[in-house]
Structure 1
Amino acid sequence: MHSDTRPQSEHLRCHKPSDLDSYSFWKERCDHRRNHTNSKRNQTVSFHLNKLKYNSTLKESRNDISLILNEYAEFNRVMMNGNQVVFQDRESNVASEEATSQEMCSSSPRSASYEDMITDLCSSLHVKLTSVVNEACKSTFLFYLVETEDKSFFLRTKNILRKGGHTEIEPQHFCQAFHRENDTLMVIIKNEDISSHFHQIPSLLKLKHFPSVIFAGVDSPEDVLNCTFQELFRAGGFVVSDDRILETLTLVQLKEIVKILEKLNGNGRWKWLLHYRENKKLKEDVRVDSTAHKKNLILKSYQSANIIELLHYHQCDSRLSTRAEYLKCLLNLQIQHIHARFAVFLTEKPVSREVFENSGILVTDVNDFIENIQKVAAPFRSSYW
């Protein structure tokens, strides 16, 4: 038993050192390879990092960008203040900087002189314009007051105007009398009364035809003499047609009307305000009528030119409009376009012109409009929107 055991143990003891040596050997080789690989890897990493390395050549004291920014800030300060500034640079005394500084310093008095000159011109222009307005307001004129319930307001206004040498007159007398070229009538109405009382001005349509008649909306009695009133019915106009005009117009007539409106726009804004129902009827006819199709194309073209405007659906479009409804619609549109001199009702139907004209509405048929509207609008050369 012992003899068998000893050789076996000796055999085992003899092989242990050999295994350990082998393990150490392979460990050393593995460590050597690992170290060699890491060394190469470190060299590669260092090489790539070296590529990213950047050696700045900018001076720490002051670089070109800061120089430009500082000079720009200094230039702005010089121009804004209008004072002479000595541009100093403690960190560098470059000759180009000194030259730039001297140029800016020498230009600042010139800039200041320009500013003074512009200020003087603006002040002088303002004074001259003010004097022109004051002189215009000082010239005597005729006046008519649209009186409502506020009696004290109108009594005070009349007293102020009479003291200024102005004369009260009735519109009918003004329309019938002989006028000198410089005779001016000012029709005065409170701004808050415009919507409810403007159409009650006597002989309103006749007054609109006189270029020497001014319509003034006021808030206080002093507005007239101070020229702070709102001028009403200044220039231009708008056209409203009845529900049959588009259907009965020929292509030639339609083209003439829109071309006339286009010409009138050169001196004062004119528009053709089309009711929803008129436009809808025309579009329905387009499907079966080639003439209606051509009319529709013309209307679209002038709509894009802001000469034709489609009105929103309202009471006039709900049923066949009566004369009273057309008149009410025209008066509402006149209020909405209060600076338009003329409100024109274009119709071929027999209507009582007197009812419309008493409210300041011009009634005309197609041929009369084509022949005469430019003559009516000619004296009024301004734009109201």
Structure 2
Amino acid sequence: MQQLSLYRNNKAIWQKLAYSPSIFISDDGYECNYDTNAKARYALLIELQYDLQAQDEALVRYLFTQEILKYQKASMGGVSDELLLNAYLLASFKNPNDILLFYNAKHSSFDASFVIDNEFMFYALKGKTEAFVKDNFLEIYDDLQGMYVQYDYDDALEAWWNHLSSNYPEQEADEHLYTLYQRHFYLENYELAKNYLEAWNEATPDSVNKKSALKYAYIELKEYLPVIELLKEELAGSDSHWDNVSCYSNLLKFYTRTEQSANALRAVDCIDKELKQFSDWKNVGLGRMTIEQIFEFSLLTDNTAFGIKAFNIAYKWLRKIQYDLSYVGLDTALKAANKYDLTIQANKLEKLLIAEQHRIEKDLMPKSRFKSLLSTLFR
């Protein structure tokens, strides 16, 4: 939906794009901040990329201040494309008064420090930047003093700018197809994103990197059948027990999600055979995650015989690693044991789950509080 003309003609509604924090619970149970207006700002930035005009300078600057706030307040790592796109659009106006904004953007988060290049602060004034900063932004002068020697040639800054500009063409027709997939997926235009992904797939020669990108994109889109086919190709080309277990574990995950119980059980049998061939997996996450995946299939399948067989295989290997499984994995295993009335295993798993819960609570408890609790228990 085109919004640019509305924001150009009515500054009063810019506040609709202001940084607006909210809370969501992550998959692992943590509270995280997110900005409810971030996607609306990004959609507008894309419009600006294709139709930037002199009158848009203040609007682009306002959007950038909100992006900076977002990263200053963020509880999760990572930097999405809108920060760099916004910086690029603002830098195109070559306003030296924005140097402080670029500095603040670079220091808004750890990840942003790698995304916002120092060149943004020097592009407007080049060799005159240091003197301008000393006169106008003395608070950052020490950080920038002497830095321009790295960009002592104007040609180097222009080369940097030309390279950056090539990532942001002035019309959508010149965009990379995978970029369009990523943008529309982020903006939740999933059907359009899928169309761009398929167009990119058709236009791009096959390679290991392409297939890897394609696999993760289909996972994002929850299109699991093509993921399974790509995993089969990976399996055919794997040359180690490690790779085989990894592929079979992932196949099991997506067979489970697509309710292909017979194929899932065959994957479990293959995992069982592979784990017998080497022992290093016991000391790393691959083995534990694979065992958890088998328990998950056991719990979710509607085929009782398949579920019990899978449970017994997973439980056998769980004993081999001294029951070293995550809380979530133990909880899944316990639910599966209860589902099939496996009383002995359920009792053991319940004890392990309680012990793991106590360990977690102990680790999360402040040390002073824990010491106080110990003194109360043993006085």
Q: Mark yes or no: TM-score above 0.5.
A: no
- TM-score, normalised via structure 2 length: 0.18
Q: Which has the higher contact order (CA 8 A, sep 6+)?
A: 1
- TM-score, normalised via structure 1 length: 0.18
Structure (1 or 2) with the greater helix fraction = 2
Structure (1 or 2) with the greater strand fraction = 1
